[in-house]
Structure 1
Amino acid sequence: MKNILSALFISGVLMVFGCSKTQTQNAKNLLSPQEFSDSLSSIQDKIILDVRTPAEYSGGHIQDAINIDWNNGDFEQKTSSIDKNKTIMVYCLSGGRSSAAASYLRSAGYRDIKELDGGMMSWRAANLPVSMQQASQKKGYSKEQFNSLLQANSMVLIDFYADWCKPCKQLQPILEEIALENASTLKIIRINADESPDLCRELGIDGLPYLQLYKQKSIAWSHMGFIDKQTIISQIK
Structure 2
Amino acid sequence: MNVPRIPETPNARVAIVTGAARGIGAAIARRLAHDGYAVVVNYAGSRTAAETLVHEIEAAGGRGLAVRADVADPAAVAQLFDAAATAFGGVDVLVNNAGVMQLAAIGEAGDELFDRQIAINLKGAFNGLREAARRLRDGGRIVSLSTSVLGLRLERYGIYAASKAAVEALTGVLAKELRGRSITVNAVAPGPIATELFLDGKSPELIERLARLNPLERLGTPDEIAASVAFLIGPDGGWINGQVLRANGGMV
TM-score by length of 1: 0.31
The structure that is strand-richer by fraction is 1
Larger radius of gyration: 1
